Amino acid sequence: MAIYLIVLMCTLNHAGFGGSRVAVSLYALELGANQFTIGVLMALYALCPMLLAVYIGKLADRVGPRLPMLLGTTGVAVALLLPPLVPGLATLYLSALLLGTSFHFFFVTVTGIAGGIGGGENRARNYALVSLGFSGAGFLGPMAAGFSIDHLGYLPTFLLLASFTVAPMLLLWFRSGFLSEAAKHESEGEKRSAFDLWRIPVLRNTFIASGFISSAWDLFQFYFPVYGHSIGLSASVIGTVLGVFALATFVIRIALPHLVRRSSEAEILTYAIFVAAFAFALFPFFQNAYALAAIAFLLGLGVGCGQPMSMSLIYSLAPRGRVAESAGLRVTVNNFTHLVIPLVFGSVGTAFGYMPVFVSNSAMLVAGGFLMRRNSAPGRD
């Protein structure tokens, strides 16, 4: 029962968080922001998580999951209420910063505890369920934001997204007993620097793979609304394409248990990077909404493998008592890419247009795919 309540909270919280990326991007464009400004806003989502994720993981290992999850959920709600209360571009900067920070209090904790529910034999199933929840939220949040913007306006959309956090807050505040089963892996033994985790080759390779996939996911979430807006797509269509992408991540995660029986997690991550690279290379050649939705579905199949495979590997490879800390280091690596990618590609798009953004990210993924292929070869660390 505990894992299903956790999945429910993941779905609702991430729906509000994921929808906020659409709402923040399009509202900023409505207020006259350029591509570089949108890049700064999206980078702010990643700034504090990049700096704090390891400490969030250590906090969760030390005090248990309830406090950081409750802080994270409440913070997301407050961040989504800020733009309706104080409209304007300046508020969006603060809201983006608070959204990224708050959500990762919840996210890092969940990735650190889910694998322990029901014993080690349920680890892969648990992470598949959690990832399915995030995929469902990735469909619900952008779709809700897109249609709400078209029919209600920007500021009511933020209120709608904030409403998704109410049920998780009530569960964590009044009915948090189910988390006791999820806290079985709590820390023991001497604590050392998080960089000790980076020095473990198999963990480091997993962090690298997760970072490449995360960069592709984040660039799509950040840049597709900008690209769609530039070619005249409505907010509803943009939200629908993002929803199709999320649907593909849902589909591939249903299939993951079967894929894992045929290939190792490392091999699946490598193939996923190459699929994502191919999909990114296709985007700038199409402007038709149906074609873009098909490419988004292909991209979703590629990047949808990354999160559950890396979470499962990290849980199994992390030293005992440092699981949430290891999850935090994974999030730190991912958010480094979240910080750098929007700034770099926002600048590239402003200076040179859309084509170099998609093609250069595709090339980066290809390089990452060959790196992971080498790292996952037999006989490698």
Count of residues for the chain?
Answer: 381
Q: What is the pLDDT of residue 223?
A: 77
Helix, strand, or coil here: 39? helix
Q: Are 73 and 169 in contact (CB under 8 A)?
A: yes
Mean pLDDT by 10 residues, the chain (381 residues): 85 92 90 83 80 79 85 95 94 94 88 68 73 82 89 93 94 79 49 69 75 79 82 88 87 81 76 89 90 94 80 71 72 72 63 72 79 56 42
Q: What is the pTM of this model?
A: 0.71
Q: Which residues of 58-89 are buried (b: 16+ CB within 10 A; e: fewer)?
A: bbbbeebbbbbbbbbbbbbbbbbbbbeeeeee
Task: Specify the pLDDT at position 155.
Answer: 92
137: left (phi over 0), alpha (psi -120 to 50) or beta: alpha
What is residue 86's predicted lDDT score, i.e. its pLDDT? 93
Q: Please give the pLDDT value at position 130.
A: 84
- CATH domain 2-174+194-375 topology: Growth Hormone; Chain: A; (1.20.1250)
Non-local CB neighbours of 50 within 8 Å, separated by 6+ positions: 332, 335, 336, 338, 339
Q: Write phi, then psi, for 186 (nearest 5 degrees).
A: -55, 160
Sequence ranges of the domains in the chain? 2-174+194-375
Q: Give the per-residue pLDDT at 189.
A: 44
CB 129 within 8 A of CB 7: yes
How many other C-beta atoms can be found within 10 angstroms of the C-beta atom of residue 354? 18
